[in-house]
Chains A and B, each alone.
Chain A
Amino acid sequence: MPLLQIREALRAAIDEEMGRDDRVFVMGEEVGYYDGAYKVTEGLLKKYGEKRVVDTPIAEAGFAGVGVGAAMAGLRPIIEFMTFNFSAVAFDQILNNAAKLRHLSNGQFTLPIVFRGPNAAAHMLSSTHSQAFESFYCGFPGVKVISVATPYDAKGLLKSAIRDDNPVIFFESEVMYSVKGEVPDEEYLIPIGKADIKRPGDDVTVITWGQGVAVALAAAQLCEADGLQCEVIDLRTLRPLDDEAVLTSVRKTNRAVLVYHGWPYGGTGAEISDRIQRLAFDHLDAPVERVCYEDVNMPYAENLENLVIPSPERAAEAIKRIAYVRV
């Protein structure tokens, strides 16, 4: 199987879907002539032209809203946020239009739209450029939320997202675009809403997504030295959550740790923790732990950023703590 970078896998997904359906188009800042700020859309302008690869001025609320309107009118927009940090100025369009117009119109409209782009911290971009937005968007009834960590998942899930008839928020990561992995030549789709066990194990369930996946796998590795076998579950879809996958694992291991990029108060992490304590209460031998950002605005300084972002060591510590391994 060919080895692709995540950016190439995403591009292949967009390219295939654009080839398959004339109504699919890409819109965002620098997606066209610049080939994408992070080169995800490289070559697409050349192939599909200005009509279907649309550069925008800096106006996220504007072009997010244009995407919503275009979706109502039968197109299938892929809206790129250069990073999800800039979606903060389009928050209302996602909350009050994308997520609500089907409901408000009592089903008169269908909104097949994908909002995608990199999310969460990269490296030394300071606080305004290092935020994880799933905690906000996962809360919205009316949308689906996806976060990918491998080229294979990126391609299969982005294709599904583009074909989905609902608004989908699709999270990538600047620091992961170059991550390579096998991607089959033949076409495939990955169903939205299904988690993936990235590493099987019997002792502790480690639940993760996005940038957290690599951290969790590294932590699992570290824990092996202590004889702990972690089951690492990559959620992939954050809304709707794959409760079954999580609960099946927790019922087996009786312990769960969440590892992810994002602030600690509330959000996706807290939701999963709450579901586990509620739906697997009698199976838990230890509290659910979360390893995520510290509760601060992300500092620019590298040494501080490294402390704020979850590390394999910090994750391993939490895993061992709830496995009651002396640390």
Chain B
Amino acid sequence: MINKQVASAAEAVADLFDGATIMIGGFGEAGSPIELIHALIDQGARNLTAVNNNTGSGEVGLAALIKAGRVSRMICSYPRTANSTEFPKLYHRGAIQLDLVPQGTLAERIRAGGAGIPAFYTPTSLDTPLEKGKERRTINGRDYVLEYGLTADFAIIKGRVADTYGNVVYNMTARNFSPLMAMAGKITIVQAAEVVAPGGLDPEVIVTPGIFVNRVVEITHPAHESTLVAAGESYP
């Protein structure tokens, strides 16, 4: 019968491949699936395109993945956060590409990718340097730019509770991009602090229905990025 739970973060990311596009949940540290990212560092896939609002901080989580040289391209709205030191180093020596996307456009492109909408129009970025290369169109007297849906080979996200069907609920502002990335990932992998049997979540409050999720791993006490950074940790 259907059971999407896998035994470990390592098993969950075992088939990630070189050159994959990977969406990583989180806004700053809130919702960052640190244990899955660390498993991905151990796993070794290279030349990744990573999609995240930021670029991580310190030398753990996403920043550690970048430091390890595994990410060749970042799709991102705000790569300049407090304690973000690894991305700038690689960026300044030309070792990582940056696709800068306005935050709301990034969210909508991911949702569109997951929803089978190949492209949409938005007013965001009009008349700015980020309009460059985009098609412009006037609709009902106002100008808009064309943006394309974004999908990924993998999405790795963090939930609060998941069931073995893959239904997920989140914790406060750790929700952010994760439900969208779950829709847009061909393989979506969730780490949750608690994994329960089907029926353990109220069907009215599920944020990500299980159809969007392929694998669930229980990480009972996920680390907080800021705690690790404050402790001077680095991974591996």
Report whether chain A binds chain B. Answer: no
Q: Which residues of B contact A (CB under 8 A)?
A: none
Q: Which residues of A contact B (CB under 8 A)?
A: none
